[in-house]
Amino acid sequence: MSVTTRIQAFQESMQPTDVGVPGPTSLEMARGFRSIRADPLSFLVAVSGRFGDLVSFPVPGAPALLLNDPADARHVLQTAARNWRKETVQYAALARVTGPGLLASAEPSWIEHRRLAAPAFHHQRLLAVSDQVRAAARDAVGATLDRSAPAHGRTVDVAALTHTIGLDAVGRALFSTDLSGQAQALLDATSDAAELVVRLGRSVLPTAAWTPTRTNLRLRSARRRLDSGAAEIIAQRRARGATSTHGDDLLGLLLDSGMTDGEVRDELVTMVVAGHETVAAGLAWTLMLLAEHPEAQDRLRAELADHPGPVTLLDHRDQLPWTRAVIDEALRLFPPAWALSRRSDAADVIGGREVPPGTLVIISPWLMHRREDPWTEPLAFRPERFLDSGAGRSAYLPFGLGPRLCIGREFALGEMVVVLAELLREHRVTVPAGWSRPRAEAKVAVHPRGGMPLVVTRTGGGPA
């Protein structure tokens, strides 16, 4: 190929592919670059308001589309899932921390690891670890609030509290390990890694992992710290020895599966990253909504009073329907996973348009959950929506859809119910004087910027 032909081919590959879908121009994107980066959630809301359910972004090469029609999302994530893989910048960035673990893997062989891990999330196992999750919640609530929540109330950053519980619950339930010795180091390393992953996922030019940029160096340091945490957990378990098996928790299943230590490490770090930040953020927003809606909180406390026995990770929709509806509605308004991305292997039809191989799509639960159809008054907090017929469920995907649906869904929902029960049975949360909501910041999870300061008051049990 001549130099001129090569230059022409390069120039063509740098042109956006027009598939006849409206969207912002390159100039608009360039002008809005800083604000888009600072607040991608508002950007997504603005472009879908302006261009509708299918929006095209002016990127070089194959099309990049934002899909906000529930039927299109279902097509990509479920019906045609085989054609839409996780081969995207976001997942490549995540894989720099987690390796090709379950969450980031774009390979069809992901299914083998999913099958190996699945028994750790089966119903029987979740029932068995309910005590551990309850203990994680009780210990953290006790340590934070017994000191600091007198009868007249005290302001507490509940986001920090839910982070501690989230990490401890993963450690106890999935690895039968007390992570408290390395909790701060793991929390710091995962939050550093998460921040850097987001930065890499949003950067315009991909940087090779070996280039000594500041981000790469910091990422390497976070990864080293996570590696050493994971290595310690694996070594401790191996040191216990195995009679016939290493145990029936997730770590035992992985060690018995014949995976290499490197592969076990990837799954372990995946579960730490995917399993604590999301639940912690979801709980912090749930507590905020309950503090803003005291009547909903009183109803929840009354429901708990009618159910004095220990709460398990399962059966809460029957036993504590209001509590569960509150969680469902909080995950609608503040879905921790705010954007899912996929790339097509082969040509397909999306929203009636033919799209070529290599098309990137972004599906945002944050946007989908704010659609006026089917959600009436979508910004209002109304847990009742989830008590009845299931209206709106087609546009509800806090845990994704299809074969890549969150493996930790039942664990996460159960953990959230357990934590609310442990905290709110004997405490009330209210908003501090001069309250304004923390900004929703889109990192790996949508989390409250600067924490979630709420006033926690001891009630001594029963509705406040």
Residues that bind ligand HEM (CB under 6 A): 102-103, 114, 170, 270-271, 274-275, 278-279, 282, 336-337, 340, 398-400, 404, 406-408, 411-412
Cβ proximity to ligand HEM: between 114 and 218 the closer is 114
Q: CA 112 to CA 227: how far, in whole Å?
A: 23
| Longest CA pairwise span in the chain (Å) | 81
How far is residue 380's CA from residue 394's CA, in Å, rounded to a whole number? 19
Closer to ligand HEM by CB, 66 or 103: give it.
103
Phi and psi at 435, nearest 5°, equal -60, 135
State the Cα–Cα distance between residues 406 and 172, nearest whole angstrom.
20
CB nearer ligand HEM, residue 140 or residue 455:
140
Q: Which is nearer to ligand HEM, 325 or 412 (CB)?
A: 412
> Taking the complex as a whole, how short is the minimal distance between the CB of residue 282 and ligand HEM, in angstroms?
4
The pairing of strands 440-442 and 353-355 is unpaired
Separation of alpha carbons 92 and 67, rounded Å: 21
- DSSP one-letter code for 76: I
Minimum CB separation of residue 7 from ligand HEM in Å reads 37
**Least spacing, CB of residue 442 vs ligand HEM, in Å:** 13
Cα four-point dihedral sign 60, 61, 62, 63: positive
Q: Are 419 and 280 in contact (CB under 8 A)?
A: no
Nearer to ligand HEM, 149 or 397 (CB): 397
Please, what is the minimum distance in Å from the beta carbon of residue 166 to ligand HEM? 8
Q: Which residue has the tokens 């209210």?
A: 430
CB of 412 to ligand HEM, least distance (A): 4
Shortest distance, position 91 Cβ to ligand HEM, whole Å: 8
Of 322 and 399, the one with the shorter C-beta distance to ligand HEM is 399
Closer to ligand HEM by CB, 126 or 337: give it: 337
For residue 325, the minimal CB distance to ligand HEM (Å) is: 15
Contact indicator for 446, 339 with CB cutoff of 8 Å: no
Shortest distance in whole angstroms from residue 81 CB to ligand HEM: 9
How many angstroms separate the Cα of 46 from the Cα of each of 36, 39, 198, 278? Answer: 10, 11, 21, 25
Closer to ligand HEM by CB, 397 or 455: give it: 397
d(CA 150, CA 403) in angstroms, rounded, equals 47
CA distance 121 to 79: 24
Q: What share of the chain is helix, strand, coil (3-state, %, to 5)?
A: 55, 10, 35
DSSP string, 253-318: HHHHTT--HHHHHHHHHHHHHHHHHHHHHHHHHHHHHHHH-HHHHHHHHHHHHT--SPP-SS-HHH
Please say which residue, 153 or 336, places its beta carbon nearer to ligand HEM.
336
Task: Give the span between the Cα atoms of 182 and 232, in whole angstroms.
Answer: 10
Smallest distance from ligand HEM to CB 20, Å: 27
Q: At its nearest, how many Å lie between ligand HEM and the CB of residue 120? A: 9
Residue with the CB atom nearest ligand HEM in the bound state: 408
Amino acid letter, 79: T
| Residue 404 or 425 with smaller CB distance to ligand HEM | 404
